[in-house]
Amino acid sequence: MKIKLFKTITIVFILFIIGVLFAGLNKDSIYSTQELTGNKLTNIKLAHFNENRFVTNKDLKKNFTLINFWASWCSPCREEHSYLLKLNKEKNLDLLGVNFKDKKNNAIKFLDELGNPYDVLAKDELGKYSINFGIYGVPESLLIDKEFRIIKKFIGPINEEDFYSIKKVIKDK
């Protein structure tokens, strides 16, 4: 009787393990936040980089905002920086820079060296608040409209193609 019970428990356990493995095969293992497009950001609240206050929705006044998550230690952030400087010249676009998991003095050196393209500068020293934006690395950017609806998410550095697609969106509206 004990041997029969042991065999039954062993078989049930093995079938359970096999079932869990097969269930795992059907799941998408790639973490993607592209589905955020079309969603509305509510209650933007980030620590201001230099001031003892929070950056909120009220700080973003133009028809469009590019929220750019960056860090001084991020090599691809250097690659995209020239495009951000060009985008800063657009009258219809605010640039909100969010310094991500960085030391303040390193971030200041980065901006002094390459130029500061941001209209508003915030910080996320521990990377906790960026999660609310669907951010899991740098550089990443979100283009939003004046209703704070996400138009497009850019994973990785802004490149020439992205630059022109942003310009097209903000010119068309």
Question: What is the pLDDT at residue 28?
Answer: 55
Please give the full DSSP string across 19-51, using - where no structure is assigned: HHHHHHHTS--S---GGGTTPBP---EEEESSS
Average pLDDT, the chain: 89
Question: What is the pLDDT at residue 173?
Answer: 60
Contact 165, 152 (CB under 8 A): yes
- Residues 6-11, mean pLDDT to the nearest whole number: 84
- Residues 45-66, mean pLDDT to the nearest whole number: 94
Class of domain 30-172: alpha beta
Say whether pLDDT at 33 is over 70: no
DSSP state for residue 135 in the 8-state scheme? -
Task: Please give the Cα distance from 143 to 129 (Å, whole number).
Answer: 17
Say whether pLDDT at 3 is over 90: no
The burial class, CB within 10 Å (0-12 / 13-18 / 19+), for 27 is exposed
In this predicted model, which residue has the larger pLDDT, 5 or 96?
Answer: 96
Contact 85, 162 (CB under 8 A): no
Backbone φ and ψ for 152, nearest 5 degrees, come out as: -155, 145
- Residues 85-102, mean pLDDT to the nearest whole number: 96
Question: What is the pLDDT at residue 35?
Answer: 63
pTM beyond 0.95: no
Question: What is the pLDDT at residue 39?
Answer: 80
Question: What is the pLDDT at residue 81?
Answer: 97
Question: What is the pLDDT at residue 13?
Answer: 84
Residue ranges per domain, the chain?
A: 30-172
